[in-house]
């Protein structure tokens, strides 16, 4: 048994609990340990590291997954597979709405969501609200594949807490996308009842919004509470799933919400013209078809 662990765990120095390990010379791996699991990537080198006011930001060049962004030792994305997450969190709410013009993006400092939003011609304004400018600055320089066209005049960036930002808006957005880190000191407010009440005010009556909503395998209680809270405030609250290889378990959930539109219905067919690698209109519908254990989580 001990030998198996030795063979599988190839770190020179075993990673600390819940921490990314960077082993120094020789065979280098970066590992995210999440509860009783770990995901590791073989690394060529660390290319960026900074302790910002909010979190530890690191970018690694991996052997076969492109660049990898970690925040507080948690993998945010691998360049090789990031399309799965960014396309599904963006194109589902934007396609469930017939014509989203004003779009709010909260979090998403790596740029991936804004890049996807800009593929929709009907979008006229994108307000991008990220609490940590250092994540934006690092991504702009070190994750160019993720970065959006900054010459696109539709985007305005704001560096502040999304919870505070939405309080200032009323009846303005057609779509909102919350791409925040797992519930933590800085992001937990983005899953709170007060935030959703403010967001409801900031959205137009027929708006659609989506948030990442953690793992259906490992965060069932979180999802249950989130959905119960959202159902108190909004009419349609729907969970959908996608394969996201860089998050624990490889299957991730998202929640799409509206007072007017059933989120699983595609209203704005852009299939083909979006140039997506994962999303299409058939997958949009099927992503809302849930395994029984997930139906149980969301059925209250
Ligand atoms: N889904 C990705 C994940 O958890 O792996 C999220 C990636 S994206 C880089 C998450 C971003 O949300 C981070 O850059 C973080 O700074 C930002 N964020 C966290 N809390 C926030 C808040 N309250 N307001 C605005 N942005 C926030």
pLDDT in tens, 261-300: 999 999 976 656 789 999 999 999 999 999 999 999 999 7
DSSP 286-300: HTT---HHHHHHHT-
Minimum CA distance residue for ligand 1 atom 5: 76
Tell me which of 78, 111, 143 is where a domain ends: 78
Per the structure, how many domains does the chain have?
2
Around ligand 1, the residues with Cβ closer than 6 Å are 54, 71, 76, 106-110, 129-132, 135, 161-163, 179-182, 186-187, 189-190, 212
CATH number at residue 188: 3.40.50.150
Q: Partners of 175 in the beta sheet?
A: 103, 208
* Index of the ligand 1 atom closest to the CA of residue 108: 8
The model's pTM is 0.93
Residue ID of nearest Cα to ligand 1 atom 10:
180
Nearest residue (CA) to ligand 1, atom 15: 107
Angle at 162 between CA 178 and CA 225, to 5 degrees: 55
What pLDDT is attached to residue 14?
Answer: 46
CA dihedral sign of residues 259, 264, 266, 270: positive
* Ligand 1 mean position, distance from CA 3 (Å): 38
Ligand 1: atom nearest CA of 110 is: 9
- % of residues, the chain, pLDDT over 90: 81
Residue nearest to atom 14 of ligand 1 (CA): 109
Looking at the fold, whether 194 and 179 belong to one and the same domain comes out as: yes
Question: 178 and 66 in one domain?
Answer: no
Partners of 37 in the β-ladder: 34
Length of the chain as a residue count = 300
Domain that holds residue 71: 4-78
Q: What is the CATH number of the domain that holds 48?
A: 2.30.140.10
- Reported confidence tier of residue 157, pLDDT bands at 50, 70, 90: very high
Residue that finishes a domain, picked among 44, 78, 112: 78
Name which residue sits closest to atom 4 of ligand 1, judged by CA.
181
Angstrom distance (rounded) from CA 285 to CA 264: 5
84 has a pLDDT exceeding 80:
yes
Give the pLDDT confidence score for residue 270 in this predicted structure.
60
Mean pLDDT of 234-243: 98
Question: Does 70 share its domain with 90?
Answer: no
Q: Do 115 and 31 fall within a single domain? A: no
Q: How many CB atoms lie within 10 A of CB 156?
A: 10
Q: Is the pLDDT of residue 47 over 80?
A: yes
- Testing ligand 1's pocket by substitution, the residue of 51, 54, 70, 130 carrying the most ligand atoms inside 8 A of its CB is 130
Specify the ligand 1 atom closest to the Cα of 76.
5
Both 71 and 87 in a single domain? Answer: no
Q: Please tell me the residue having the least CA distance from ligand 1 atom 17.
A: 107
Query: 185 and 251 share a domain?
Result: yes
The DSSP H or E segment spanning 108 is: none
Q: How far is the CA of 49 from the centre of ligand 1 (A)?
A: 17
| 157 shares a domain with 107 | yes
Cα of 247 from ligand 1 centre, angstroms: 15
Ligand 1: distance of its center to the CA of 135 in Å?
A: 9
pLDDT at 149 over 90: yes
- Please state, rounded to an integer, the average pLDDT across all residues of the chain: 90
User: C-alpha dihedral over 23, 214, 254, 137, to 10 degrees?
Assistant: -40
Which residue numbers are catalytic?
179
From 53, 78, 103, give the residue that closes a domain: 78
Residue 98, token pair as written in the block = 């017939």
Q: What is the pLDDT of residue 262?
A: 98
Query: Does 256 lie in the same domain as 109?
Result: yes
Strands (E), 52-183: 56-62, 67-71, 74-78, 102-107, 125-129, 155-158, 173-179
Same domain, 155 and 24: no
* 100 in the same domain as 226: yes
Cβ-proximal residues to 284 (8 Å cutoff; 6+ apart), any chain: 91, 92, 95, 96, 264, 266
Dihedral of CA 172/88/63/149: which sign? negative
Among residues of the chain, what percentage have pLDDT more than 70? 90
Angle at alpha carbon of residue 237, lines to 236 and 242, rounded to 5°? 130
pLDDT at 89 over 90: yes
Distance in Å, CA 110 to ligand 1 centroid: 9
Answer yes or no: do 98 and 241 share one domain: yes
The residue among 243, 245, 254, 231 whose CA lies nearest residue 300 is 231
Is residue 129 a contact partner of residue 105, using CB atoms and an 8 Å limit?
A: yes
Contact 212, 178 (CB under 8 A): yes
pLDDT in tens, 184-220: 889 999 999 999 999 999 999 999 999 999 999 999 9
In this structure, are 94 and 232 located in the same domain? yes
Cα 131 to ligand 1 centroid, rounded to whole Å: 8
DSSP H helices in 65-212 = 82-96, 112-117, 133-142, 162-167, 193-202
């Amino acid at each position: 048994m001990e030998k198996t662990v030795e063979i599988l765990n190839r770190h020179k120095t075993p990673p600390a609990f819940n921490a990314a390990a960077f082993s120094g010379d020789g065979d280098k791996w970066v590992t995210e340990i999440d509860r009783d699991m770990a995901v590791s990537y073989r690394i060529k080198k660390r290319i960026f590291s900074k302790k910002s006011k909010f979190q530890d930001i690191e970018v690694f060049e991996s052997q076969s997954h492109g660049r990898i962004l970690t925040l507080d030792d948690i993998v945010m994305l691998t360049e090789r597979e990031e399309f799965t997450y960014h396309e599904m969190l963006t194109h589902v709410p934007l396609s469930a709405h017939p014509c989203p013009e004003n779009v709010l993006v909260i979090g998403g400092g790596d740029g991936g969501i804004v890049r996807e939003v800009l593929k929709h011609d009907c979008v006229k304004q994108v307000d991008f609200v990220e609490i940590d400018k250092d994540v934006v600055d690092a991504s702009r320089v070190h994750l160019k594949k993720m970065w959006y066209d900054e010459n696109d005049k539709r985007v305005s960036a704001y560096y502040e807490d999304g919870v505070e930002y939405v309080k200032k808006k009323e009846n303005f957005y057609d779509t909102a996308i919350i791409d925040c880190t797992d519930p933590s000191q800085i992001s937990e407010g983005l899953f709170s009842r007060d935030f959703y009440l403010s967001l409801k005010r900031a959205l137009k009556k027929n708006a659609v919004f989506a948030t990442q909503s953690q793992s259906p395998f490992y965060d069932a209680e979180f999802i249950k509470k989130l959905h119960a809270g959202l159902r108190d405030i909004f009419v349609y609250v729907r969970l959908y799933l996608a394969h996201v290889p860089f998050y624990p378990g490889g299957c991730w959930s998202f929640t799409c919400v509206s007072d007017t539109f059933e989120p699983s219905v595609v209203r704005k067919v852009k299939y083909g013209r979006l140039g997506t690698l994962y999303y299409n209109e058939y997958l949009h519908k099927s992503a809302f078809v849930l395994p029984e254990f997930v139906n149980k989580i969301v059925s209250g």
